[in-house]
Structure 1
Amino acid sequence: MKMIRLRIDGKLVVAPEGTTILNAALKAGIYIPHLCYMEMKEVGYKNDCASCRICVVQVKGMSRLVPSCTTPIKEKMEVITNSPEVMHKRRVVLELMLSDHPKDCLICGKNGECELQKLAISFGIREMRFEGKEGRYDKQYSIAITRDTTKCIMCRRCETMCENIQGCGILTGVDRGFNVIVNTAFNRNLLETDCTFCGQCVAVCPVGALYETDNTFRLVEDLMNPNKKVIVQVAPAVRVAIGELFGVEPGIDMTPKLVTALRKLGFDAVFDTNFAADVTIIEEATELKERVLSKLKGEKGVKLPLFTSCCPAWIRFVELNYPELRDNLSSTKSPQQIFGAISKEFWTREKEIERKDLICVSIMPCTAKKYEASREEFAIDGIPDVDYSITTRELGRLFKQYNIDLLEMQDEEFDSPLGESTGAADIFGRTGGVLEAAIRTLYEWLSDGKLEDLDYVNLRGFQEVRVAEIEVTGIKLRVAVVHGLGAARKLIEDIKSGKEYFDAIEVMACKGGCVGGSGQPYHHGNFEIVKKRAEGLQDIDYRKELRESNENESVMKLYDRYIGEANNEVAHRLLHTHYFDRKNHK
């Protein structure tokens, strides 16, 4: 690769040919403010529309300022990032942007996390020199995502993510001139579109135009209600990310302190979603085993590949775009919903609590989990299995409101028995983890032998699609892992055209899996943070004495006492679900 030598603010910088001035400067430790630009090379995301012009710089020999995010470096180029002309231009651009932006920062969903707000602080803007007409749009609420289009700054990050990475095309630039904005077609509410609520638009939005619908006040009210028992379940991806909100490096397991903090917040019991993840594997591996054996017997109509069903954004994506594949989806509920069903069916019985008096809250790395909890099929007599979900970010804010310093908490363990789990459950939070966990158990069931090496490294990594072939006592399985809905769409089309065949496929909507979920602390395009979270989960798996879901004694006792055999009538009533054709929902 040819290397280019240039000077930025007098400093000699060497970077590969094709690098932009912005990236060359940032790599050299020279900060250039930017707003619309965001890049995650590992997942193919790049938003470089150069719409904000905050990143303009001066290049010797050029008559005008240029956007550093789209201007490639050249040999012997001399760049000035801090000349009076550059600084004046940036300030004027920022002031003009603020002149058409709401001033309700105190109640904004991104207050404290807003990149526009941080720029205004860094530039020391204390008054508005420009006044004029301000665009106004009604705020739109959905169960998972709130849209405040008035705050859109046309950076187009959300549009790029939704169209190019997720392949959904829900958000796009509409109108012209002063009225141009990123919006849905005909200004529809997200629930009226083909939105999957994956929330990756929320994850990249620099301002308060998109943010998760907040459930924290609802939680506070429930915790104060003496007539309710409030329990909480914690997803695996949360424990390796929430520490970031308190200055901890990504990937550090905060489980013991998180449990204590949740008790201090006022929950009556603190449980682990991982318990339900182990149950998910028992049911899902049973499904896969039965379908594979049916195929080997030559039975007709066997639905393969079997797709995983843990990701609600992926489920809604299938219902909206490929309803003909509904029978290929595992009917097993997600761990969030399995936990809710078990807690309200069995835990209430053990504790002599009426179903209506139990509030089950989930802490999730994802906005789609809010939508999933609200689905009508996950309720009995109008009482949901999971009452509502809050994100990692929401929980972090709540801790800070209550002066709960996560780092100062003593180490405690989850309550029993719904807090016990194996390492297989922990890796649910990273791409490839669900399928790897299922194969650990499936292998033993098909071979009737103990598996010596539990690490299916071919299923790990961050390539868009990973393929592996596994042989068990003469039975050959071809499996795949895919993350990102756009990549899933491509793979489905290849399967439908006959180019590919698989027995099982894991799909997660978010790049990196749940560790890269839209409810996690913002990584601002630094995918290394997502990787570290995934490594953190893998480390937890390595440390566990038990690493196969079928080794979870508490889960096995649950089956012995209440359920019986996996995939039986009782299991299907409580732990399985069905899906809908939503293709013509509009």
Structure 2
Amino acid sequence: MSANTAIINIDKELCTGCKRCSEVCPVDAIEGNEGEVQSINADKCILCGQCVQICKGYASIYEEIPTPFSKKMHERGMLNTVKEPIFAAYNMGQVKKVNELLDSKDLLKVVQCAPAVRVALSEEFEMPLGTLTPGKMAAALRRLGFDKIYDTNFAADLTIMEEGTELIKRITEGGVLPMFTSCCPAWVKYLEQTNPELLANLSTCKSPQQMGGAIIKTYGAKINGVNPSRIYSVSVMPCTCKAFEAEREEMQDSGYRDVDVAITTRELAQLIKSRNINFLDLPEEEFDNPLGAYSGAGTIFGVTGGVMEAALRTGYEFITKQSIPNVDLTEIRGEEGFRTTEVQVGDLKLKVGIVSGLKNVVPLIERIKAGECDLHFVEVMTCPEGCVSGGGQPKLIFEQDKKVAYENRKAGLYKHDSALEVRKSHENEGVKVLYEEFLGEPLSHKSHELLHTRYKSRVNR
């Protein structure tokens, strides 16, 4: 994707001016009068894709429109096998690049999938809303031609190791508080664009996608015995902003572009269909070790409050040196909005906040700037109920389906978490080996070099 290509767009030929997209935009980036074609203010847009999810203005392959259907698909980076309607609000696709390289014999083709993908992909194949399908997903990726099926859940566990240690260090050594999570790229972009004076509050941890990418092209290259220049690293994400994050100039600490291309859940489904893979008939297969092993904590990153719950499971044991009394921190869980709770961690009363739906962060930011916030740690997710409701997830036309899908997707991830033998990030054997053989320890020089970054102001750029 070139620097001049917009990731989120509105097709002027298909827009009806209904303003649904404007109503759902968390940063008021969509402009235009009702009944008129809408436009996107690129200086405000954070690429979350919620407008893509809500848009109802469409054309089917059977309609006659000024620009031929095939040309529109080409301009949007879509595969020419797509049969679904196309909508006015859309994200620029990356899947054609992946499709072209899947048959290459010169590359080691590696893929990682975010937690929320495995509870939504099935919807594209007429399975019940929110059906959990990690095994079929892994099988589909193998049949597409990927050589290594790794998992962003592994990198989520790795993120907890780094982020939890960073939080403890800030609390005990007088660092900047509250510390914000940095997993959501739309949230990070928003802070850079609106309140860069608070960037010191952001965790320096990269997102799981970017940690995974950096490890795949360093440690992963080592264990697979290949030159990292031969690795083609793909991520499958529920998020339209992940394509932007993968292309940030900071994200090449492996010495290469850490993640070569990020595609959405919808795009993975298009790819599977284009290769005539019968998803429903696929067997249950495993991810490849060691970078495909994950805990329940890594799994729940896909729901609002999941990053916080995962961090507390590990943080509690790091601080107290004792097992957490109850691994299910249900007080952390919830829906769209802003909620706070206190968790007793040894002698420390840890005060945490969870924000889902970006508009809900504005009052909190004002409190922080006024010196009136006493929280230690805050999770922020741009999308209404976390990554399960991301802009790159399967499109849901009817509002009643949306509610059911979000609930089922969340329930699927929590069920997956509770069924796993390992439910804490620091107990992931693959993560342990990674530190023993390669990273040393959390916040080590090597970890800082590969897994941490600094963000910068985007004001007046």
In structure 2, C-alpha distance between the alignment counterparts of 1:161 and 1:501, rounded to whole Å: 30
- The answer to whether 1:235 aligns with 2:114 is yes
Contact 1:143 1:370 (C-alpha < 8 Å) held by counterparts: no
Q: What is aligned with 2:459? A: 583
In structure 2, C-alpha distance between the alignment counterparts of 1:366 and 1:259, rounded to whole Å: 19
In structure 1, C-alpha distance between the alignment counterparts of 2:423 and 2:94, rounded to whole Å: 34
Aligned partner of 1:347 among 220, 224, 246: 220
- The answer to whether 1:402 aligns with 2:275 is yes
Contact 1:365 1:517 (C-alpha < 8 Å) held by counterparts: yes
The alpha-carbon distance between structure 1 residues 551 and 143, as it changes in their structure 2 partners (threshold 3 A), is farther
Q: What is aligned with 2:54? A: 204
Counterparts of residues 22-101 of structure 1 (less than 5 Å): none
Q: What is aligned with 1:173? A: 32
In structure 1, C-alpha distance between the alignment counterparts of 2:111 and 2:448, rounded to whole Å: 24
Q: What is aligned with 2:140? A: 261
Instruction: Give the number of equivalent residue pairs.
Output: 427
Aligned partner of 2:171 among 286, 292, 304: 292
1:232 counterpart SS class: strand
In structure 1, C-alpha distance between the alignment counterparts of 2:21 and 2:405, rounded to whole Å: 20
Counterparts of residues 482-497 of structure 1 (less than 5 Å): 482-497=355-370
- The answer to whether 1:545 aligns with 2:421 is yes
Amino acid at match of 2:403: F
1:493 is displaced (CA, Å) by: 1.3
In structure 2, C-alpha distance between the alignment counterparts of 1:463 and 1:219, rounded to whole Å: 34
Q: What is aligned with 1:30? A: none
Amino acid at match of 1:409: L
Q: What is aligned with 1:422? A: 295
Q: What is aligned with 2:101? A: 222
In structure 1, C-alpha distance between the alignment counterparts of 2:210 and 2:382, rounded to whole Å: 18
Q: How much is the aligned-residue C-alpha RMSD, in angstroms?
A: 1.6
Q: What is aligned with 2:64? A: none
Contact 2:340 2:354 (C-alpha < 8 Å) held by counterparts: yes
Unaligned runs of 5+ in 2: 59-86
In structure 2, C-alpha distance between the alignment counterparts of 1:429 and 1:406, rounded to whole Å: 22
Amino acid at match of 1:279: L
Q: What is aligned with 2:84? A: none
1:465 counterpart SS class: strand
1:224 counterpart SS class: coil
Q: Which deviates the most, 225-234 or 329-338?
A: 225-234
**Structure 1 segments of 4 or more deviating over 6 A?**
none
1:497 is displaced (CA, Å) by: 2.6
1:356 is displaced (CA, Å) by: 1.7
Counterparts of residues 320-339 of structure 1 (less than 5 Å): 320-339=193-212
Counterparts of residues 423-442 of structure 1 (less than 5 Å): 423-442=296-315
In structure 2, C-alpha distance between the alignment counterparts of 1:381 and 1:493, rounded to whole Å: 37
For residues 479-530 of structure 1, what are the alpha-carbon distances to aligned partners after superposition, in whole Å with 9 as ceiling and x for unaligned?
A: 0101111111222112323443210000000011000000111123322211
The alpha-carbon distance between structure 1 residues 267 and 488, as it changes in their structure 2 partners (threshold 3 A), is same
In structure 1, C-alpha distance between the alignment counterparts of 2:372 and 2:253, rounded to whole Å: 43
**Structure 1 length normalisation: TM-score?**
0.71
Amino acid at match of 1:170: A
1:381 is displaced (CA, Å) by: 8.7
2:460 counterpart SS class: coil
Amino acid at match of 2:12: T
Contact 2:46 2:190 (C-alpha < 8 Å) held by counterparts: yes
1:181 counterpart SS class: coil
1:224 is displaced (CA, Å) by: 2.0
Amino acid at match of 2:347: G
Contact 1:240 1:533 (C-alpha < 8 Å) held by counterparts: yes
1:380 is displaced (CA, Å) by: 5.0
In structure 1, C-alpha distance between the alignment counterparts of 2:390 and 2:444, rounded to whole Å: 33
**Structure 2 length normalisation: TM-score?**
0.90
Q: What is aligned with 1:154? A: 17
Aligned partner of 1:472 among 345, 348, 363: 345
In structure 1, C-alpha distance between the alignment counterparts of 2:99 and 2:387, rounded to whole Å: 26
Aligned partner of 2:123 among 236, 244, 248: 244
1:278 is displaced (CA, Å) by: 0.4
Amino acid at match of 1:172: E
For residues 523-580 of structure 1, what are the alpha-carbon distances to aligned partners after superposition, in whole Å with 9 as ceiling and x for unaligned?
A: 2332221121011100000001110000011101110111112101110000101101
In structure 2, C-alpha distance between the alignment counterparts of 1:546 and 1:387, rounded to whole Å: 30
1:194 is displaced (CA, Å) by: 2.0
Contact 2:55 2:89 (C-alpha < 8 Å) held by counterparts: yes
In structure 2, C-alpha distance between the alignment counterparts of 1:149 and 1:209, rounded to whole Å: 7
Larger Rg: 1
Contact 2:182 2:204 (C-alpha < 8 Å) held by counterparts: yes
Q: Which deviates the most, 199-208 or 271-280?
A: 199-208
Contact 1:304 1:502 (C-alpha < 8 Å) held by counterparts: yes
1:478 counterpart SS class: strand
Contact 1:233 1:363 (C-alpha < 8 Å) held by counterparts: yes
In structure 1, C-alpha distance between the alignment counterparts of 2:12 and 2:373, rounded to whole Å: 41
For residues 426-481 of structure 1, what are the alpha-carbon distances to aligned partners after superposition, in whole Å with 9 as ceiling and x for unaligned?
A: 00000000011000000011111111201111110114011100111221111010
Amino acid at match of 1:552: N
Amino acid at match of 1:181: V
Q: Which deviates the most, 474-483 or 485-494?
A: 485-494
Structure number with greater CO (CA < 8 Å, separation at least 6) is: 2
1:250 is displaced (CA, Å) by: 2.2
1:143 is displaced (CA, Å) by: 5.4
Aligned partner of 1:357 among 221, 230, 251: 230
Contact 1:143 1:371 (C-alpha < 8 Å) held by counterparts: no
2:13 counterpart SS class: helix
Identity rate, percent = 43
In structure 1, C-alpha distance between the alignment counterparts of 2:90 and 2:300, rounded to whole Å: 27
Amino acid at match of 1:432: G
Q: What is aligned with 1:379? A: 252
Contact 1:261 1:406 (C-alpha < 8 Å) held by counterparts: yes
The alpha-carbon distance between structure 1 residues 498 and 381, as it changes in their structure 2 partners (threshold 3 A), is closer
Q: What is aligned with 1:531? A: 407
Contact 2:237 2:392 (C-alpha < 8 Å) held by counterparts: yes
Contact 2:99 2:271 (C-alpha < 8 Å) held by counterparts: no
For residues 347-404 of structure 1, what are the alpha-carbon distances to aligned partners after superposition, in whole Å with 9 as ceiling and x for unaligned?
A: 1122221222110000100100011001011125973100011111111111111111
The alpha-carbon distance between structure 1 residues 387 and 143, as it changes in their structure 2 partners (threshold 3 A), is farther
In structure 2, C-alpha distance between the alignment counterparts of 1:148 and 1:225, rounded to whole Å: 34
Aligned partner of 1:568 among 444, 448, 458: 444
